[in-house]
Chain A
Amino acid sequence: MKVTFPHMGHIYIPLRAFFTALGVEVVVPPPVSRETLSLGTRYAPEFACLPLKVNVGNFLEAARKGADTVVMAGGVGPCRFGYYAQVEQEILRDLGVNLRMVVLEPPQGHWRELWQGLRDITGGAGLREIWRAGRLAWRKLTVLDELEHEVHRARAQEGERGATTRAWQRILDQVDEAGSVPEVEEAARRGKVLLKALPRREGEAPLRIGIVGEIYTVLEPAVNLELERVLGEMGAIVERSIYLSDWVKTNLVLHSLHLRDDREEYRLAAPYLGHFVGGHGLESISWTVRYARAGFDGVIQLAPLTCMPEIVAESILPKVSRDVGIPVLTFMLDEHASEVGVRTRLEAFCDLLCARRRQKEGGTAFAGVSRH
């Protein structure tokens, strides 16, 4: 059996570690490219949202590399994500592609099914083995999320353009190669040293921009047109409302033990939105409030075109933005999103934020001309 899974940011690293540790052969799909997208858009329904199309592209490319089994997460709640796995399964079947699909539903109390699914893939691994593999994968995930914070900081002030991105790629590879928890710690330590050693540019304090929105478009750089890298290279520090490790913690662990605490989310969003709308719609609101209070310069909302929870949030955000005094820029992304158009808007947004900051500081603002 050769297992594959969809791409979403660097999730391939912990997933590869997890299955490899359980003795399962893994085929990581090639990084999301134009080819992936064109495969996905050819075979997925036109009005499906972008993540589904990219998933299908990933699976087909992985099948070419010899994968025969797909592991896919299921979902619940008022969002189409819940049907992804089923729809994808149908598409693959119609295409006559020989891929078996194993859907792992989030437990929410149904531990048995998840357990069954895992045993199925691993050919009956024991609890202890699964625990050990999970621990390795979890450590890789948390280490990468920690380091990515540093990467965002470093990139906004890098002395040599692209140096941080190259260092980050090295770190990703080293963490990917680590075969045990101590090796992961060692890779993390070296990664920190590597980032610290990067030459820095002096100058005014970088802009700080918070990213909110739908999880997949926030986490997968290939579909958000590398928004974080582009902003970083323009001299802005980005921070995301969603990191995978947090998501796993709240949704897979706390939620299933009924320990999830989202009172804070609800409290901050309450003046604008009083109930769960699926996906991360509520979080997009509450995080915008949070970023404003933390003194961020701006917020960017990301979502696939037609994403219902984020459309709800989008219609509310102008009011939030006025109330808490933070500019918000929204991108609804699909396969037609152009790099040029996104870049233009990001540049203009940074100009706007710089001018605003200067005006606040009592300086003279020349129509938002920044140093970017």
Chain B
Amino acid sequence: MQAYLGIDVGSVSTNLVLLDEGGEVLTSLYLRTRGNPIRAVQEGLACVEREIPARLSIAGVGTTGSGRQLAAAMVGADAVKNEITAHAVAALSQVPAVQTVLEIGGQDSKIIILRHGVVVDFAMNTVCAAGTGSFLDRQAARLGVPIEEFGGLAVKAANPVRIAGRCAVFAESDMIHKQQLGHPVEDIVAGLCQALVRNYLNNVAKGKEIRSPILFQGGVAANVGMRRAFEEALGRAVTVPAHHAVMGALGAAQLARRAVADGSPSRFQGFDVSRWRFQVASRSCSGCANQCEVVEIRAGDRVLARWGDRCGRWSLTGEAAGR
């Protein structure tokens, strides 16, 4: 039996998905990156290896996320794609008629507009922390509410408190203020969800035409309070797909399947990769006045990839990673 592996390396989480030939999810994994993407990818591979049946072979691998180049060099990827396209591909595979994808991940959030199965517009927020999963995590911790219960609590609120959601600093201090006024915690939690949604709609989705079907993906989509807040703000139903937390990896796996559809052999280096020793080094090139910061990844004495140069003198990523 053949399977396709998708790896999504973000700054907060690293996700892996294994798809079977029919496009069904066999395994999915959600790991914390913890500032060490190499370790996260290796751990993920080791987990997948343990779980899969022996007769399963990996026919294709795809990577996405901000660490896609690094991951691609490590494992030998057949497809390397940006996370916007990967998320769109995954959304279409779950709901072919999807017209809007709302995505809130740990570190950034995005909106993707599709019409007739094609991405026609998108926006991505990478600066404002008030619209991300990490912010929600931190506030949950501050309120002493486990993040898993956060959403359930929000749904119980009778009178959501209005919280200023313009930016993380404002939201945080306003929330503390409301807490001190003695509002019940569920009202604060619900208010926080609404503030996050307002922030998202004003900063990320601004000016975009949101049409149904609407998919809500990313780690934050598990939060029923957030889904409810979106539905109230938009006045329309919002669907959370089953694999909402690993959609990037799912898309990457599908892209890998496409990449080898012509029968070409996979570049996958095998699960041994989880036991290799990788070194990443960067140095500044003195070849010309640009002084590029060139990053190099090695396994033993083999150079797997280099990137960061403007002139192409050093980079091997194109060949090594099969863009």
Contact = CB atoms under 8 A, between A and B. Distances in A.
Are A and B co-members of a single complex?
yes
Contacts of B291: 33
Interface residues of B, number: 35
Interface string B266-280: 000000000000000
A319 to B, nearest CB: 9
A270 B291 CA distance: 45
A235 B293 CA distance: 24
Given A318-B207, A367-B119, A226 B310 contact: yes
A347 interface: yes
B310 A369 contact: no
Given A348-B85, A368-B85, A369-B258, A163 B312 contact: yes
A99 B311 CA distance: 34
A165 B116 contact: no
Contacts of A365: 117-118
Interface in B273-314: 288-291, 293, 310-313
Given A33-B291, A169-B311, A229-B310, A356 B118 contact: yes
Interface stretch (B120-128, B154-162, B193-201, B230-238): B120-128
B118 A369 contact: no
Interface string A274-305: 00000000000000000000000000000000
Interface in B94-128: 114, 116-122, 124, 126-127
A45 B170 CA distance: 23
Interface in A296-349: 315, 318, 327, 336, 338, 340-341, 343-345, 347-348
A345 B118 contact: no
A306 to B, nearest CB: 13
Contacts of B120: 327, 352, 356
Interface residues of A, number: 36
B318 interface: yes
A166 B258 contact: no
A348 B311 contact: no
A175 interface: no
Contacts of B84: 344-345, 347-348, 351
A141 to B, nearest CB: 21
B289 A31 contact: yes
A33 B288 CA distance: 12
A162 B85 contact: no
B80 to A, nearest CB: 9
Closest 8 interchain pairs by CB?
A162-B312, A348-B84, A347-B82, A344-B82, A368-B119, A355-B118, A367-B89, A351-B85
14 contacts: A33-B290, A161-B312, A165-B311, A344-B82, A344-B83, A345-B84, A347-B84, A348-B85, A348-B119, A352-B118, A355-B119, A367-B88, A368-B119, A369-B89
Interface of B: 66, 81-85, 88-89, 92, 114, 116-122, 124, 126-127, 207, 255, 258, 288-291, 293, 310-313, 315, 318, 323
Given A341-B126, A369-B258, 15 more contacts: A31-B289, A34-B293, A162-B311, A166-B312, A336-B127, A338-B126, A341-B124, A347-B85, A351-B84, A352-B121, A367-B92, A368-B85, A369-B81, A369-B89, A372-B323
